[in-house]
Amino acid sequence: MSFEINGATFPQQPRAGQCLRTFLRELGHYGVKKGCDAGDCGACTVLLDGEPVHSCLIPAFRADGRAVTTIEGLGGDSGAHPMQQAFLDAQGFQCGFCTAGMILTCASLNQAQRTDLGAALKGNICRCTGYRAIEDAILGKTNVEESVEAGAAFGRSLPAPAGPDIVRGKARYTFDTAMEGLLHVKLLRSPHAHARIAAIDRSAALGIPGVHAVLTHEDAPQVLFSTARHEKDWMDPEDTRILDDVVRFVGQRVAAVVAESEAAAEEACRQLKVDYETLPALIDPERAMAPGAPLVHPDRTTANRVADSGRNLVAETHGEFGDVAAALATSAVTFEGIFHSHRVQHAALETHGGMAWLDASGVLNVRSSTQVPFLTRRALSDIFNLPMDKVRVFCERVGGGFGGKQEMFVEDILALAALKTGRPVKLELTREEQFVATSTRHPMRVHVKAGADAGGKLTALQLGVRSNTGAYGNHAGPVMFHAVAECISVYNCPNKKVDGAAVYTNTVPSGAFRGYGLPQTLIAVEAAIDELARQLGISPYEMRRRNIVKPGDPMLSPPPSDYHDVLYGSYGLDQCLDLVERAMRADVPPPDLSPEWLIGDGIALTMIDTVPPAGHIADTMIALRDDGGFDLTVGTAEFGNGTSTVHRQIAATTLATTVERIHLRQSDTAHGGHDTGAYGSAGTFVAGKATHAAAMRLADELREAAAGAWLCDAASCVLEGDAVISGVRRMSFADLAKLAHERGQLLAASGNSAGTPRSVGFNVQGFRVAVNKGTGEIKILKSVQAADAGVVANPMQCRGQVEGGVAQALGAALYEEMVIDSTGRVTNPKFRDYHLPSFADVPRTEVFFAKTSDTIGPLGAKSMSESPYNPVAAALGNAIANATGIRFTAPPFKPDRLFPALHDKFG
């Protein structure tokens, strides 16, 4: 056989049964990505004789004698292909993991296919962007600003620094590297929802050629920890072990096999013989809370930060301001309802995984797809009793996160395997493992009661929340506390009551997910506001204007918080309401729909604290280079959140230079300092603030160094155009670096941010929908979101974050749903049965920004990567209710779920 790849002939031969994707990656073509294993996502797209194919579905031998083109070879010898340049100009990517496959598909489209992009792109999934920027690239639209003068980067639409490498397939994600002597880890997982492991017979598995080790609970430290990663360990329960002798959900790790190949490791897993003593399993959280129910973690106590293991409660909260019952009894109008939210998968296209090895100095190195390298290092140090300086955790580019990688799901078993074997090891989860063995959004039951007086002022708000945390309590308490906080603290109301419980069940664990509990409760609270407005004959906009908090108002939700550092750094909620109302009322041609379609509008609002409580730390360092540029070192990871772009913009603006002269190093614990991680809306607000502080200090040093050379007052010196200027004198940064070098002086500075005080961000979402009363089908006719992000650091990028958040939230609201059967098994653990939003599913969202400047955030900015997700399902539910007159209380709003109620009402 002969293989021509990107115009070159390769003598290597594929193994029997090997797919083209794996063959190409083994040859070093890392632009071919592994996303789904089943031809559903398109990340592995290549051109075969000019036609796009999913290479994970093509046996490698079928490429014999045919021309294979990967993203690395698309441009040929001429450099970038026009479509690669188009994606750069439009910035048609965020994390970039899908981009290579997307570009190859787009580059192959003919004119006829371009007229129906929904059909043409149905085989390529993007989880980040919302697809508008991808369409812009196909249409040849330029979104980036090409020329920005020195010192003026902040607030401009500048491109991501990794963009050229992303579009050419050169950006390196977790597994885009080769390592000598690499062993492979595969995991045997539990078939039972609850069982005790009586015995494991390893003999047959160890007899498989190439198997180096079989690791069980007998080989692992018995240290209890949480997979959740927070700056403060007390936020999460200690209820997890690397490998346990009790399994508590279908898919939990039972044993790890370390072998020369994945095939050998998988075969050894099949040969393991495990004797299980099955135990009673709890699938329903209501039953789990009932007296006499079996216990998921009977041995855990409050010392393990578990609230009441005897009732299967990992965390609970109760509190009341005023007298809600009395207020409801005297209210002019009231509303009461029970709402349910469901399990949703993060579906980041790069699955969890990593590599671990011991270097010559005995340091444990872990290369991982993580949002929290520093917190993961700390956890590994604790679990394995290693000095912190003997553990290094780092990531390069991460293929999506959405909160799911604020967890430690693979790094612990990788560390164990590397320490036990002394060899470099690799573990890459399959897409099915991602569904059955990582984490999901917390399913919640939300009971809301609300009342208002005749003038539309709220008199009472009450929430009862039951959160299903699954088999382990990672993020259980913080998600529940967050879920009942800003959703009601954004409203002024004299009487508020909250009761919340996070419940253990024998199901796949829940965890951190974009929005962190607020989307689940907002659908209930915002429905209550709409229903009160309807009863009073007040518009939904006016009802909210009469009740939202304003600067000076306390932001309160019971019980009283221990943290009082949330301030109105800037306030734009009133602007957001105005912007959405104006856009929704704009004159547009009426939709061409039959009388079967019912049309309605809906809105919802959200407030979010820009940083988690109890501290969020970021250290940065910046130094002047010999060439007059700057080395900037930050700890935050880049996974499509855009922090890499914003850090450079902050530093360049502060130092009167251009972003091209800011050289960024990031997300590696070996670089020093500490960074809590890129989560909780902290990437810009906390880490960006640290970068601003470091750049400000270095700017002072540059002025003082120049003043020392000129024997003048540093106060007379200013930074301008890559130089220090004082009157008619000018010294370039390069000359200043030379002067400092001659004096043996290092011009460098560090910055720190502790994440306090905190500010608040605001978002308002509006929808116009059409609902077919005969079938339950939904069409989204208009989508609008207004956001208060303070001074918008990068309008193009921030708009993309909003669009991506709306698209992801629409997926959860309309069709995404993890289904778990009565035995606790996930029945749809692959994309084909899960329905991620594709190009054709996502409407174009109009995005507006309030004009505010935050007094706390860096250069007036605050967060806007997480919160756009939050109000979407609530606004959609309100729009459907407005169209149909029926209040649906349990997304996803699939046609088959809407149909029965529509049929009862309309026939």
Q: Is the peptide bond before 590 cis (omega within 30 degrees of 0)?
A: no
- Other C-beta atoms closer than 10 Å to the C-beta of 694 total 28
| Angle 37-43-44 from CA coordinates, rounded to 5° | 70
Confirm if 536 and 451 have CB atoms less than 8 A apart: no
Question: What are the pLDDT digits (tens) for 725-753?
Answer: 999 999 999 999 999 999 999 999 999 99
What pLDDT shows up at residue 257? Answer: 98
- Other C-beta atoms closer than 10 Å to the C-beta of 741 total 13
Q: Considering only CA atoms, which of 164, 206, 173, 148 is closest in space to residue 43? A: 173
What proportion of the chain, given as a percentage, has pLDDT over 70? 100
Kind and range of the H or E run holding 254: strand 253-259
Confirm if 414 and 364 have CB atoms less than 8 A apart: no
Confirm if 233 and 372 have CB atoms less than 8 A apart: no
What pLDDT shows up at residue 412? Answer: 98
Its pTM stands at 0.97
Q: Considering only CA atoms, which of 873, 904, 907, 905 is closest in space to residue 891? A: 873
What pLDDT shows up at residue 296? Answer: 98
Confirm if 235 and 562 have CB atoms less than 8 A apart: no
**DSSP letter, residue 685:** I
Phi, psi of 306 (to 5 degrees): -110, 125
What pLDDT shows up at residue 2? Answer: 86
Residue type, 183: L
Exposure of 421 by Cβ count < 10 A (0-12 exposed, 13-18 middle, 19+ buried)? middle
What pLDDT shows up at residue 588? Answer: 85
What pLDDT shows up at residue 157? Answer: 98
Average pLDDT over residues 133-147: 95
What pLDDT shows up at residue 681? Answer: 86
Confidence of residue 678 (pLDDT cuts 50, 70, 90): very high
Sequential DSSP letters for 775-842? T--EEEEEEEEEEE-BS-S-HHHHHHHHHHHHHHHHHHHHT----B-TTS-BS--SGGGT----GGG-
Confidence of residue 1 (pLDDT cuts 50, 70, 90): confident
Confidence of residue 623 (pLDDT cuts 50, 70, 90): very high
Question: What are the pLDDT digits (tens) for 214-246?
Answer: 999 999 999 999 999 999 999 999 999 999 999
CA separation for the pair 262, 435 (Å, rounded): 20
Confidence of residue 590 (pLDDT cuts 50, 70, 90): confident
What pLDDT shows up at residue 78? Answer: 78
CA separation for the pair 725, 734 (Å, rounded): 13
What pLDDT shows up at residue 100? Answer: 98
Count of residues for the chain? 907
Buried b (16+ CB within 10 A) or exposed e, 46-83: bbbeeebbbbbebebbebeeeebbbbbbbbeeeebbeb
Question: What are the pLDDT digits (tens) for 634-661?
Answer: 999 999 999 999 999 999 999 999 999 9
Q: Is the peptide bond before 757 cis (omega within 30 degrees of 0)?
A: yes
**Average pLDDT taken over every residue of the chain:** 97
Q: Considering only CA atoms, which of 274, 311, 264 is closest in space to residue 290? A: 311
Dihedral (CA of 218, 219, 222, 227) sign: negative
CA separation for the pair 369, 417 (Å, rounded): 18
